[in-house]
């Protein structure tokens, strides 16, 4: 097999910034846009969906997110099986990258244009449909994209190098959305309504996300650079074989715990900055600068430590880091230390864990899938990533429902901030459970 040239590998890694931009746009701004605090509604924002509980305490926004994640979860093993068994001359992974990019970007933009400019159940139905399309498209693109890591990377060093590079691109995409985004939206408010400023800002940031997604399509020639061995196993059997792998299941629980907290962190950071620290979009941008900048500095350390102390220990450290930062975020504004300074410190505490989340798990899963292929003779890399995605999307849907539920029941305003304060504590509790489960993981040398 011919090794992928450095320039093409650069383009492949760069696409991580594309889908990260699109993913971050939705998950960073959907809560503050669709369910704004009362102070923002008074200033001109619109609450587009009802905030009352209707089924087992589930709110409209929680139901929207949970529905989208269920669609996403079902799509993960389906797309994985299609990709593993695909025999297209265009490539069994590359074909899906080309098909998924455009609907992924279009659905992100559409989520911020509800049809009714007031609180309405019509918006709820519309948004459930759009979120379903978004998460399905995300799976079509990202599942096969990640499955290329064990196929393009021929050893641990190459795979770790790829995931580290993708980590930097991921942080770059996140920085565009989380650092420049609040500043862009704040500036747009000078000439537009609050709603219009958010809508225009989202569209302006989605365009580079779409273009970057196509870099991998042009870069990866699977016939030349991949050990492509289409699987012959049907969906059901491949799924059962994957979930029967004990080490994979232990890893999966730890990974889900990391992402449960991380999704809460990035989905509520703007709200926490505005409500707990009583700052605006500019302070939210500063918080993201601190977290993303410190995480970027931690990347070389995590990559250096991985082959020396083991990836399991890094995962355990990251879980404990999230537990601590969750407690710190929850205490913002109720300690003698100024709220803004305290929140920035909490962000710094979470940074190493963020670095580990971005670069280590995909290396671990690549090794698990390669070990399985060596044992079974079947190359089912996409199914491992697909099964991970299946449970992860349900997990992230649950975290989204927790956010919406806690904000509705306990409060999401400066006058009533308990829901915003309790949410990171829930994430910290889940991370602590993941820590104890991950202790049973057996890492092979």
Would you give per-residue pLDDT tens digits along the chain (445 residues)? 567 788 888 999 999 999 999 999 998 888 888 888 777 788 888 888 887 766 655 678 778 877 877 787 788 788 878 877 777 777 778 889 999 999 999 999 999 999 988 888 899 899 999 999 998 999 899 888 988 887 787 777 787 888 888 888 988 898 888 778 888 988 898 888 889 999 999 999 999 999 999 999 988 877 777 666 655 666 677 777 787 788 889 999 999 999 999 888 878 888 898 899 888 777 887 888 888 889 889 988 988 898 888 899 999 999 999 999 999 999 999 989 999 999 999 999 999 999 998 888 878 887 887 777 677 666 666 677 777 877 877 777 788 778 878 888 888 888 888 999 999 999 999 999 999 999 999 876 5
Distances (CA, A) of 99 to 102, 110, 141, 209, 230: 7, 18, 7, 15, 19
- Tell me the C-alpha distance between 279 and 83, whole Å: 46
Q: What is the reported pLDDT for 11? A: 93
Q: Which fold has domain 9-213+245-437?
A: Growth Hormone; Chain: A; (1.20.1250)
Partnered with residue 59 across adjacent β-strands are: 53
Q: 199 with 334: CB under 8 angstroms?
A: no
Q: Which two tokens stand for residue 222?
A: 């699977």
Q: Is the pTM of this model over 0.75?
A: no
Q: What is the dihedral of CA 123, 139, 243, 63, to 10 degrees?
A: -10
Domain boundaries, the chain: 9-213+245-437
The DSSP output letter for 191 is: T
Q: Which two tokens stand for residue 267?
A: 């989905």
Q: What is the reported pLDDT for 352? A: 95
Q: What is the reported pLDDT for 54? A: 65
């Amino acid at each position: 097999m011919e090794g992928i040239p450095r320039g093409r590998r650069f383009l492949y890694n760069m696409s991580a910034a594309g889908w990260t931009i699109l993913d971050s746009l939705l998950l960073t701004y959907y809560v503050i846009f669709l369910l704004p605090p009362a102070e923002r509604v008074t200033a001109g924002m619109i609450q587009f969906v009802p905030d009352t509980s209707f089924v087992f305490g589930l709110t409209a926004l929680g139901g929207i997110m949970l529905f989208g994640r269920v669609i996403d979860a079902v799509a993960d093993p389906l797309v994985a099986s299609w990709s593993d068994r695909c025999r297209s001359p265009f490539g069994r992974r590359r074909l899906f990258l080309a098909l998924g990019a455009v609907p992924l970007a279009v659905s992100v933009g559409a989520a911020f244009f509800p049809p009714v400019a007031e609180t309405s159940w019509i918006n709820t139905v519309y948004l459930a449909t759009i979120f379903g399309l978004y998460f399905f498209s995300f799976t079509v693109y990202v599942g096969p994209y990640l499955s290329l890591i064990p196929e393009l990377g021929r050893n641990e060093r190459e795979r770790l190098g790829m995931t580290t590079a993708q980590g930097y691109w991921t942080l770059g995409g996140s920085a565009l959305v989380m650092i420049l985004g609040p500043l862009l939206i704040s500036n747009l408010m000078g000439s537009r309504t609050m709603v219009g400023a958010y809508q225009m800002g989202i569209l302006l940031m989605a365009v580079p996300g779409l273009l970057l997604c196509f870099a991998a399509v042009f870069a990866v020639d699977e016939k030349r650079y991949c050990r492509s061995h289409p699987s012959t196993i049907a969906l059901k059997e491949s799924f059962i074989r994957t979930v029967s792998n004990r080490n994979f299941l232990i890893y999966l629980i730890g990974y889900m715990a990391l992402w449960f907290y991380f999704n809460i962190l990035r989905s509520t950071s703007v709200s926490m900055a505005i409500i707990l620290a009583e700052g605006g979009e500019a302070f939210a941008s500063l918080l993201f600068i601190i977290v993303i900048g410190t995480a970027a500095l931690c990347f070389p350390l995590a990559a250096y430590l991985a082959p020396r102390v083991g990836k399991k220990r890094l995962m355990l450290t990251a879980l404990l880091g999230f537990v601590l930062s969750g407690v710190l975020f929850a205490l913002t504004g109720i300690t003698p230390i100024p709220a803004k300074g305290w929140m920035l410190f909490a962000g710094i505490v979470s940074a190493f864990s963020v670095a580990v989340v971005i670069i280590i798990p995909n290396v671990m899963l690549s090794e698990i899938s390669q070990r399985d292929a060596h044992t079974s003779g079947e190359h089912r890399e996409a199914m491992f990533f697909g099964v991970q995605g299946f449970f992860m999307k349900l997990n992230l849907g649950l975290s989204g429902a927790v956010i919406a539920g806690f904000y509705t029941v306990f409060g999401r305003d400066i006058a009533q901030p308990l829901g915003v304060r309790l949410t990171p504590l829930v994430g910290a509790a889940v991370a602590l459970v993941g820590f104890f489960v991950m202790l049973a993981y057996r890492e092979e040398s």
